[in-house]
Amino acid sequence: MGSLHADNLESISVCSQNPLDPDEFRRQGHMIIDFLADYYRDVENYPVRSQVEPGYLHKRLPESAPYNSESIETILQDVQKDIIPGLTHWQSPNYFAYFPSSGSIAGFLGEMLSTGFNVVGFNWMSSPAATELESIVMNWLGKMLKLPESFLFSSDGSGSSGGGVLQGTTCEAILCTLTAARDQMLNKIGRENIGKLVVYASDQTHCALQKAAQIAGINPKNFRAIPTSKATEFGLSPNSLLSTILADIESGLIPLFLCATVGTTSSTAVDPIGPLCEVAKRYGIWVHVDAAYAGSACICPEFRHFIDGVEDADSFSLNAHKWFFTTLDCCCLWVKDPNALVKALSTNPEYLKNKATESKQVIDYKDWQIALSRRFRSMKLWLVLRSYGVANLRTFLRSHVKMAKQFEGLIAKDKRFEIVVPRKFAMVCFRLKPTAILDRKLGENGTDYIVEDQTNEINGKLLESINASGRIYMTHAVIGGIYMIRFAIGATLTEERHVNLAWKVVQEHTDAILGGLNGNIDHQLED
């Protein structure tokens, strides 16, 4: 480091300026805006999935922090040279992996404002606007989703209502609601029974639930990932839930929590919320609905039916940072009974006491979440809702769904491929069919030895070959034993031409892979 002996040199390197000097802020801020505007202009040209090797950055950066200051110009050069090659470009129009992380100008500006104000809104007093704007936008979005009144703040501000809160991620949202449910139950049955509590989900439920259950001290043996099947399109069957619950009760265990999903990660499957609640409620189970990805689409009337039944759930969440043009992180959580959260999560140290809290006329959001400190996240959601309005937001979402349909149409024309599960939103799950590979193999040696395993392997090779090219980026899932490629549309910059290009890339790599299998290439296009 050498910092200590260099301390006598400090006079040389001391900034003459305050590190928040308004004029310097203006100068450097404009530079970064231009840098990012150029990035968006050029992002299409970068390899989507980063092509660096593990450890690449350790080789480029020094071992220790600099002793003296460096200029923003130097730093931005290094961002371009050292950081950008190590990014996987989630904002690229050629990004179709995982789920989208859909940025927007409004979301970015909102984040800038909240970062600029840099208030720490743990309670109302610490920045009333942060708390109040959050309650307001959560009601706005709740109404756009046609959530029942019981999830919204009452307009008269009375404390006996539901309400919404912004969390960082779904895992945090689930951990908070699970902790609330757990403590509510343990207060009834005694804390010594924590080892008997059972958490339910389907085998398609996001791993966030399992993680939240681990953290909350639920015995891992009492985590039920109930199998799903093609028969229910990989949605959780209420009958399966019921029989699992009954078996647990028979074993002396205590049902606690169900997480139902609208739009699973693997295949955007939808659990039937209403029928699941009907079963769960018989046994006093807290039902959380995780609509992290697909919840956004439910602001469009034609998709709203996917959350029918939510009125019987206890909590509902979606990630505005996935497919709602709001930058990471912004998980919207609504609960019917905020007091359950507050009872489980509140702390009341002397140093935070204040008149507003004592008046009980205000919300202190610190008691609705894990952490004490919290960012002014509602600012960006407010800007997104106002900058675009309900109409444009619907249009944006529909354009992604339309492009997904377009991609489906392209697949349908190539008989080497199949759609593995029906498309519901803007993600298409497809694969090279066994017969496409079988034909090649038969051509080679006439023996029918192709099995699903080999189909899976070849689809995996196809995906890796495509991703390694850097031209587009998709990811995979395995469902019902089938390896499939997920084509998730939602990057804000994606247009029809990118979808057409993506299909061309898929075909080219398919030609190469299949050609490699039998030494020649011929397209099996239908016309």
Binders of a copy of itself among residues 63 to 92 (CB under 8 A) are 63-70, 72, 75, 79, 82-91
Contact string 483-502 vs a copy of itself (x = CB under 8 A) = ---x-----xx-x-------
DSSP string, 441-461: HHHHHS-----HHHHHHHHHH
One residue of 327, 455, 459, 510 binding a copy of itself per CB under 8 A:
327
Closer to a copy of itself by Cβ: residue 45 or 447: 45
DSSP string, 111-152: HHHHHHH----SSTTT-HHHHHHHHHHHHHHHHHTT--GGGS
Shortest approach of a copy of itself to residue 438 CB, angstroms? 25
Q: In this structure, are residues 396 and 388 in contact, taking their beta carbons and an 8 Å threshold?
A: yes
CA atoms within 13 A on the CB side of 128: 7
Q: Which stretch binds a copy of itself (CB under 8 A): 253-261, 370-378, 403-411, 502-510?
A: 370-378
CA atoms within 13 A on the CB side of 313: 31
Q: How far apart are the first and last CA of the chain?
A: 68
Q: Which residues contact 400 (CB under 8 A, 6 or more apart)?
A: 323, 426, 489, 490, 494
One residue of 279, 307, 383, 474 binding a copy of itself per CB under 8 A:
383
One residue of 228, 237, 266, 296 binding a copy of itself per CB under 8 A:
266
Shortest approach of a copy of itself to residue 65 CB, angstroms? 4
17 closest CA partner among 2, 28, 7: 28
Binding to a copy of itself by residue 372, rule CB under 8 A?
A: yes
Closer to a copy of itself by Cβ: residue 214 or 524: 214
- Enumerate residues 168-197 that contact a copy of itself by CB under 8 A: 168-172, 175, 179, 182-183, 191-192, 194-195
Shortest approach of a copy of itself to residue 151 CB, angstroms? 15
- Amino acid residing at 422: P
Report the distance separating Cα 326 and Cα 324, nearest Å. Answer: 6
Closer to a copy of itself by Cβ: residue 254 or 279: 254
Report the distance separating Cα 432 and Cα 419, nearest Å. Answer: 9
Give the residue carrying structure tokens 């109040």: 132
Q: Which residues contact 479 (CB under 8 A, 6 or more apart)?
A: 204, 234, 266, 267, 420, 421, 429
Binding to a copy of itself by residue 211, rule CB under 8 A?
A: yes
- Amino acid residing at 302: E
Closer to a copy of itself by Cβ: residue 195 or 284: 195
Shortest approach of a copy of itself to residue 477 CB, angstroms? 5
- Enumerate residues 440-469 that contact a copy of itself by CB under 8 A: 464
One residue of 73, 189, 217, 249 binding a copy of itself per CB under 8 A:
217
Binding to a copy of itself by residue 338, rule CB under 8 A?
A: no
Q: Which stretch binds a copy of itself (CB under 8 A): 105-113, 283-291, 503-511, 513-521?
A: 105-113
Q: Which stretch binds a copy of itself (CB under 8 A): 205-213, 276-284, 431-439, 505-513?
A: 205-213
Closer to a copy of itself by Cβ: residue 129 or 242: 129
Closer to a copy of itself by Cβ: residue 56 or 308: 56
Structure tokens at 52: 């660096």
Report the distance separating Cα 358 and Cα 366, nearest Å. Answer: 15
Binding to a copy of itself by residue 20, rule CB under 8 A?
A: yes
CA 65 → CA 61, 62, 479, 516, 517, distances in Å?
A: 10, 7, 46, 50, 52
Closer to a copy of itself by Cβ: residue 192 or 250: 192
One residue of 77, 81, 149, 157 binding a copy of itself per CB under 8 A:
157
Sign of torsion, CA 237 238 239 242? positive
Binding to a copy of itself by residue 505, rule CB under 8 A?
A: no
- Enumerate residues 118-137 that contact a copy of itself by CB under 8 A: 118-120, 124-130, 132-133, 135-137
Binding to a copy of itself by residue 143, rule CB under 8 A?
A: yes
Asked whether the bond before 448 is cis by omega within 30 degrees of 0, the reply is no
One residue of 232, 242, 328, 469 binding a copy of itself per CB under 8 A:
328
